[in-house]
Amino acid sequence: MPDHFTIPEEFLSLADRCEAPGFVRGTAPGQQYAIIADPDVHDTADAKLFDGPRNLFPEGHLPDPERLYAIGYTGGEGSTFCLWLDDDGVRHVVNHGSGPGSCL
């Protein structure tokens, strides 16, 4: 994670809650993800925290890629929740959806 971002404590707690019962999948560093729902009940859970590549957006797609850092998936179609720095450098949690008008 770039030094100019910090993970909210709530996300760290959520990651711990996913890891404790064994909801983390993948073994290679950078390729792991945590399923938020019990994988034995919801084997295709859409909501996931991930520790993978953060260059989810094509080159040139974002005017300033250093201001957006993806944390996880909110849907199976590729929607993500991200940390975003506004013009004043204040961190926000935003949803980057896949449909028209779904970037909050």
Is 25 part of a structural domain of the chain? yes
Is 67 part of a structural domain of the chain? yes
Predicted TM-score of the model (pTM): 0.66
- pLDDT surpasses 80 at 5: yes
- pLDDT surpasses 70 at 6: yes
Give me the phi and psi of 27, to 5 degrees please: -120, -25
Which token pair is 91?
A: 């961190």
Is 20 part of a structural domain of the chain? yes
In angstroms, rounded to a whole number, what is the distance separating the alpha carbons of residues 33 and 27? 9
Is 4 part of a structural domain of the chain? no
Q: Which residues form the domain of 49? A: 9-96
In angstroms, rounded to a whole number, what is the distance separating the alpha carbons of residues 53 and 49? 12
Regarding predicted confidence, which is higher, 86 or 104?
Answer: 86
